[in-house]
Structure 1
């Protein structure tokens, strides 16, 4: 029911994705009419498709929907020595849907993945039936280190250009660590409150993230997070799920910005930024309930 497959992305790059299909539809590429509208699940910065391990094991939607979880170009097993941008990622999502013979999908994303989902809905409105935005990263609402980095985006671009030049001369890491978020998240679930605070403090730290992602892509992810969101160009239903903490973004400011989305619903979970790791049950139930009660998403 759960397979690791491949498709061609930008410039013929071999990209990896995980594909969940219900038992009765366990063929290589179901027709667009054989299932309810599928879900495409996008991970965040310095992450990969294993981010959605809990959802695929516990969601009610797995009973009759196709779930597609790509390793975005530059991440996980879809390593590319360039520096993928939002335009590349949304084209790859469209290519994945065509590869799977699907005409429309619900696009869900966490963190940077939520920003990519919004951009996909704006660029490919006919292919996006709905959006689930988990902890989206509006540049006007970022806090902490990201807010301090905003003025330095031009400097980051220069650094990326320099590293890409070095890569052309063969100067890059030949080996990157693998990141299995099921293993990491299970440690979080089993941790005591004191241990949990220590572990979450390490989530998202550059010294850990740079072990699993090329440096150019890591820096470019920060640049892409700072791009404006095309809110006015999105016309499909949306569910926005935020954490109540302010270590990464300001939830009130984010809601004020995304309030302009049509047919939008908001939910807040009392946590810091890492909802898929810290509150997977609540997250799963919010997504399931919203999709199942919305006739346009069947």
Structure 2
């Protein structure tokens, strides 16, 4: 595994790369308030099983790609295309979890020629949102409005000077051990999807803008004609799996697997997830 950075439009973008052929490249995008370490366990296992290059970026505003300005899906898409250009890849498979899965679908809709296929791990389709997100979505327009004064303060130099970077692969291992010891998901529910804890690791304005992107419509996904693997959790913690399946089945070339998890498939079922994705890559 290699670590790289490149400068782009106001920030230094960080990514990890597991080397392989440029023509067989998989880019995995993390979720909201996450970073590229989300995929380190997967990338280590998958890279040992298949001859693919795997790239795991810290999206702008997350992890080691610190950014405090205006943030939209367009910024992330342009960053990902710049990453492909930097690595000499005309095209790549794009995948992700949660926010990252939504971003991969947006990229397929807006830049179909740069996308060779999709790996969607628990995508957050607006029509299928469940729990707290379902109630926040109708007032999602408040999120960028709340972020604006914070961005202004950040531009004036009023912000935290150091943001710690959370190692999610280590957190995932510790969480699985705690769940096995106590026989419940309480250890995970006490740490994951907690905004007060998430915002400790990223600018608050960035968190609000990223959450807004999760709640926005993705677009006409039925027009995505790329070979697609979708992995859905059965737990219905943040999204209704049946509604997600119904919406995803409008895509003409999608294969859907359901995995026994609440929402964090990379945390709860890394081996099952890796088997599904490696099998999908082997049939392309």
Question: Which bin holds the TM-score, normalised by the shorter protein?
Answer: over 0.9
Is the CA contact (8 Å cut-off) linking 1:8 and 1:95 kept in structure 2? no
CA distance, structure 1, for counterparts of residue 187 and residue 70 of structure 2:
29
* CA distance, structure 1, for counterparts of residue 117 and residue 209 of structure 2: 27
Structure 2: unaligned runs, 5 residues or longer? none
Q: For residues 180-219 of structure 1, what are the structure 2 equivalents within 5 Å?
A: 180-191=167-178, 192=180, 194=182, 196-201=184-189, 202-219=191-208
CA distance in 2, matches of 1:142, 1:111: 11
Q: Which moved more, 1:12-21 or 1:87-96?
A: 12-21
Tell whether 2:120 aligns with 1:133.
yes
SS in structure 2 at match of 1:268? strand
The number of aligned residues is 281
Alpha-carbon contact 1:247-1:273 (below 8 Å) kept: yes
Q: Does 1:279 align with 2:277?
A: no
Q: 1:12 to 1:219 in 2, by over 3 A?
A: closer
Evaluate the alpha carbon distance shift between residue 240 and residue 262 of structure 1 in structure 2; reply closer, same or farther with a 3 A threshold: same
For residues 218-276 of structure 1, the C-alpha deviation after alignment (integer angstroms, 9 at most, x for no partner) is: 11111101111221342211111010011100011111111111210000011100110
Q: What aligned pairs does 1:1-298 form with structure 2 within 5 A after superposition? A: 2-9=1-8, 11=9, 13-22=11-20, 34-59=21-46, 63-191=50-178, 192=180, 194=182, 196-201=184-189, 202-230=191-219, 231-294=221-284
Cα deviation 1:65-92 (Å, max 9, x = unaligned): 2111110000000001114211110111
TM-score (norm 2): 0.94
Q: Which whole-Å CA distance do the structure 2 matches of 1:159 and 1:282 have between them? A: 39
Instruction: Return the offset for 1:60.
Output: 5.2
Q: Which residue of 2 aligns with 1:28?
A: none
Check conservation: 2:47, 2:53, Cα contact below 8 A. no
Distance 1:131 1:212 in 2: 28
Q: CA deviation at 1:292?
A: 0.3
Offset, 1:169: 2.4
- Between the aligned partners of 1:210 and 1:189, the Cα distance in structure 2 is 23
Offset, 1:182: 1.6
**Closer, same or farther in 2 for the Cα pair 1:165/1:256, shift >3 Å?**
same
Moved more, 170-179 or 110-119: 170-179
In the TM superposition, what is the alpha-carbon distance from 1:204 to its structure 2 partner? 1.3
- Structure 1 residues 171-207: Cα deviation after superposition (integer angstroms, max 9, x where no partner): 2111212100121011123223536522211211012
Question: Structure 1 length normalisation: TM-score?
Answer: 0.90
| CA-atom RMSD in angstroms | 1.5
